[in-house]
Structure 1
Amino acid sequence: MQFKDQVDFVRQHILKNKMRVFMTVLAATMGTAFLIVLASVGFGLHETLRDEMLSNRLVTEIQVYEGETSGAPSDKVEQFTQLAHVKTVLNQQRLGTNQMTKMGSFAGYHDLVVSDFAEEAKVGFELQEGRLPEKWNEVVVGSHFGQSLYEDVEVADGEEILTYTGKLIGEQFSYAIENADGEFAEEEIEFTIVGVGKNPTKEWEYDRRVFADDSVIPELEKIYTANTEQTNTTDLFYQNVFVYADKLENVSQVSTSIRDEGFYVYSISDELDQMDVFFLALKAGLIFVGTIAILIASIGIFNTMTMAVTERTREIGVMKAIGAKPKLIQRLFIMESAWIGVLGTVIAIILSYGVSMIANYLLPIIVMSALGEEDLEGLNITFSVIPWQLILIASAISIGVAVLSGWRPARKATKIDVIQALRQEL
């Protein structure tokens, strides 16, 4: 029997039992769709969190700390720049004394961060507005700088203290550091704001820092030595060294090279690796749960194929009498069960994509309504993602289970006695 004839044979017998086959296909469809949609939640949440972590320059950032035998990282900046796959190295310096800023009638306490903005530009220092500093007295302020400037007046109990709400770009403020007596020095630096940093990725973070180019260091040292009567300025700053890899894929290699030099390192890729392991286990668990639904549907396929063998006992006997080999008979029934699995899988894939699209549209609205929020811009969550890998896994499981469900009835068909089959139709 040619393959075309085998297909026609299977098709004819399927058409004879449309309702039974339809219900079996429906069960296979529901089981496979359940697997895909359930697992897609794991893929969706994983992609959302990963994209959130990869949305800024921190993903290639490696923080370097002193090791037991390595010494200060700031002394090794030039050495770090020579490592393979290193894009740039930043030596950010922070003042180790209290600081005060004044802008008109407003005042506040802000941390000054000194860095090389030529290098900062290479790694994409993100701005909400304005530009990066080009002179020693130009600065970029954090997005919450104005909110941390308070009106310098006395208010009665219960009255709200006003914060600065005006424009920042182009404004000037005075900057002073604390002297040895715990008071702020009379000598001040006048800074001009030329840029405002981008809002932190996490809503609870509060960025009130002031970023200046390292060309301001001589001015800061001059004020420090004049007010503390110290000539040694090593205690004025403490160092934060950041190494930036050229690509995310090379972060681990760069981190290993720095560790080999005796330093301690931390990078967001470490968290990414841990997160990937967690979501791999989660997705595997969801696929396992979804597979149970397919196994339940396989009971229907098994019953359908068992009944098909029983109903076609006489027909099988005729086929054997005219010379059909057992392998041919077995193949015909396995083809029928495989057809049920393939059709159910195709319908399930189409249905799953539809459910995924609806879920991604409706669930954010439902969540925000439950939270009492009207603005959906802050909620950027993809609840369901169906990658091609998931389609392949679900298809393999669904079709594989369908074939296995039909294998036992197909084996039974090959063992039917020809004489008994021709004498009666069971």
Structure 2
Amino acid sequence: MQFNDQIDFVRQHIKKNKLRVFMTILAATMGTAFLIVLASVGFGIHDTMRKEILDNRLVNQIEVYSSEMDQAKVEELKKRDKVKAVVFRQSVGINQQTELDGYTGNNTMTVTDFQEEKKVGFALKDGRLPENKHEVVVGSHFAESLLEQKAAEAASEPSTYKEPLIGKQFTYKMGLYEKNELFPEETRMTIVGIAKEPAKDWLMDTNIYADAAIMPELNQIFINHVEDENSELFYGNVNVYADNLENVTAVSKALKDEGYSVYSIADQLEQLDVFFLAFKAGLVFVGTIAILIASIGIFNTMTMAVTERTREIGVMKAIGASPKLIQRLFLMESAWIGIIGTIIAVIISYGVSFIANMVLPIIVSTALGEEEFASLDITFSIIPWQLVVIASAISISVAMISGWRPARKATKIDVIQALRQEI
């Protein structure tokens, strides 16, 4: 029997039992669509969590913690293999006040090495990076943190600073919280850049970013007014940046072996990926149960097909058709049901995913309120091609397995008994 004749054999039976075959395909479609949509939720949540972690973070960044960290150790870290840059940011740990054109604010100064910051791409909204110790970059919300001093003294509603910041000079003072007073020394700073806004809308960046060259000058002011020699003006943290993501684990391990406490986003992502791999596998397993239930319908349909076509099978065997050919004919029919059901299921799944991502945010925002939901960036459903391949393989395989038993039964039909059967 030619291949075209085999297809005609299958098509004739499908035409003859349109309703039954349609209901069987519908069951296969529903089972496969359920698997894809259910698993797509796992992919959507996984993608959302990864984006949340990666927001405003560099994947090759390693945070290093040590109570004895100093500039000498930072220089040693810079010399390591596979290390692109080492950023040692130190913040002033006492009372601080800035004054600009009659507006004042309590902005924290952070000193850093801008040569290292350049290597990791210090993001600017406007201006440039500092080139001497009295030039600074200010946070994106620096102006909003400055309040009109006269209004504050008059107990009226103070306004914030509205003028352009680039090129402006302001005075910077330090003081002790315990005495609630500021040191008389003033340091004049010039704003040459504005940092880019944080990725998360609720974060406020009001910091002053100065070059580490300013540290001796500020330390001298601090020493002049503090009696305790053990007091420290600066406290800081070190971020080591590997030259690429593949070397983050190796650099982290080497630092841990030397006694440093380290944390990298790669470690967190690895743990997250392992968790969601198990989670998505569980969802696929649950979805597969729906396909297995649909396979009962395929089994019944194929069993009925064998019973109804017993005489035809007898005729084919009488004229020399092999058992393999007969088995292949019925497996082709069950595979056809699985393939059509899978194609329709994939189309429906993408439609459901699109609607879910469009409608569910509206429902959630209504329940939580616009302000709470505005800060959330949630993807409820994602259907990657890998999920389509896995679901299709499961669906078609289950359909083939469901049709295998009836196909085997067809090969064992007795020719004489089959020919005696009434049409």
Same fold (TM over 0.5): yes
Pair 180,399 (structure 1): closer, same or farther in 2 beyond 3 Å: closer
Q: Residue 27 in 1 paired to residue 49 in 2?
A: no
SS in 2 for 1:178: strand
Following TM superposition, by how much is the alpha carbon of 1:312 offset from its aligned partner in structure 2, in angstroms? 0.9
Which residue is 2:262 aligned to? 265
> Partners of 1:364 and 1:16 in 2: how far apart?
46
Q: Where does structure 1 lack aligned partners over 5 or more consecutive residues?
A: none
**Cα distance per residue 1:252-304 (max 9 Å; x no partner):** 12111211222110112222122212222221222122212212211111111
Could you say what secondary structure the match of 1:168 adopts?
A: coil
CA contact (8 A) 2:107 2:206 kept: yes
Rounded to whole Å, the distance in 2 between the matches of 1:279 and 1:391 is: 18
Q: Which residue of 2 aligns with 1:282?
A: 279
Per-residue displacement from partner, 1:299-357 (whole Å, max 9, x unpaired)? 11111101101111111222222232322222211111011101111222222223333
For the 8 Å contact 2:201–2:375, the answer to whether it is kept is no
2: CA distance, partners of 1:46 / 1:160: 46
Greater shift after overlay, 299-308 or 134-143? 134-143
Question: 1:175-234 deviations in whole A, cap 9, x for unaligned?
Answer: 11225973311001111222222232334433322111112123212322333368x698
Higher mean Cα deviation, 87-96 or 170-179?
170-179
**Alpha-carbon distance in 2 for matches of 1:279, 1:394:** 18
Q: Are 2:206 and 1:208 aligned?
A: yes
Once the two structures are superposed, what CA deviation does each residue of 1:342-377 show, in whole Å capped at 9, x if it has no partner?
111122222222333333334334444555539998
Which structure 2 residues correspond to residues 173-192 of structure 1 after superposition, within 5 A? 173-178=170-175, 182=179, 183-192=181-190
Residue in 2 that maps onto 1:343: 340
How has the CA–CA distance of structure 1 residues 141 and 14 changed in structure 2, closer, same or farther, with 3 Å as cutoff? same
Letter in 2 for 1:251: V
Change (3 A) 1:374 1:101: closer
Q: How does 1:212-361 map to 2 (within 5 A)?
A: 212-228=210-226, 235-361=232-358
Q: Show structure 2 runs of 5+ residues with no match.
A: none
Maintained 8 Å contact 2:56/2:198: no
Q: What is the 5 A alignment of 1:56-205?
A: 56-66=56-66, 71-72=68-69, 74-152=71-149, 153-154=152-153, 160=157, 162-178=159-175, 182=179, 183-205=181-203
- Structure 1 residues 160 and 294: CA distance shift in structure 2, 3 A: farther
1:379 CA displacement: 5.4
SS of the counterpart of 1:193? strand
Partners in 1 of 2:319 and 2:177 — Cα distance? Answer: 109
Distance 1:425 1:133, change over 3 A: farther
Cα RMSD (Å) of the superposition?
Answer: 2.7
* AA aligned opposite 1:36: I
Q: Secondary structure at the match of 1:265?
A: strand
**SS of equivalent residue, structure 1 residue 202:** coil
Q: CA deviation at 1:418?
A: 2.3
Question: SS of the counterpart of 1:124?
Answer: coil
- Among 412, 416, 426, the alignment partner of 2:413 is 416
Which stretch of structure 1 is more off in the superposition, 159-168 or 26-35?
A: 159-168
Residue 413 of structure 2 aligns to a residue in which SS?
A: coil
**Equivalent-residue separation in structure 2 for 1:73 and 1:337 (angstroms):** 71
Distance 2:178 2:18 in 1: 94
Name the SS for the 2:361 alignment partner: helix
Percent identity reads 64
Matches of 1:387 and 1:251, distance apart in 2: 27
Assess, with a 3 A threshold, how the Cα gap between structure 1 residues 29 and 73 changes in structure 2: closer, same or farther.
farther
Q: Matched residues in 1 for 2:282 and 2:163: separation?
A: 53
**Who is 2:398 aligned against?**
401
Structure 1 CA distance for aligned equivalents of residues 157 and 408 of structure 2:
84
CA contact (8 A) 2:55 2:200 kept: no
- Kept after mapping to 2: 8 A contact 1:65/1:73: no
Q: In structure 2, do the counterparts of structure 1 residues 195 and 263 end up closer, same or farther at CA, with 3 Å as the change threshold?
A: same
Classify 1:425/1:202 alpha carbon distance in 2 versus 1 (closer, same or farther; 3 Å).
Answer: farther
SS in 1 for 2:140: coil
1:45-93 superposed Cα distances (whole Å, 9 cap, x missing partner): 22233234334343221111128xxx53643223322333211011112
1:243 offset after TM fit, Å?
0.2
Q: Equivalents in 2 of 1:35, 1:110: separation in Å?
A: 53
Shift in Å, 1:42:
1.7
Q: Give the C-alpha shift of residue 140 in structure 1.
A: 1.7
Shifted more, 389-398 versus 179-188: the winner is 179-188
Q: Scaled by the length of structure 2, what TM-score is found? A: 0.90
CA distance in 1, matches of 2:295, 2:363: 35
Q: Which segment is superposed worse, 330-339 or 97-106?
A: 97-106
**Residues 31, 290 of structure 1: 8 Å contact kept:** yes
The equivalent of 1:38 in structure 2 is 38
Structure 1 stretch 240-249 or stretch 51-60: which is displaced more? 51-60
1:408 deviation in Å?
1.5
Provide, for residues 118-167 of structure 1, a one-character-per-residue CA deviation record: whole Å limited to 9, x for no partner.
211211112233322222112122233333334433455xx655444544
2:38 partner amino acid: L
Measure, in 1, the Cα distance between the counterparts of 2:154 and 2:280: 57
State the SS of the aligned residue for 1:143: coil
1:7 positional shift: 2.5
Partner amino acid, structure 1, of 2:320: G
Partner of residue 51, structure 1: 51
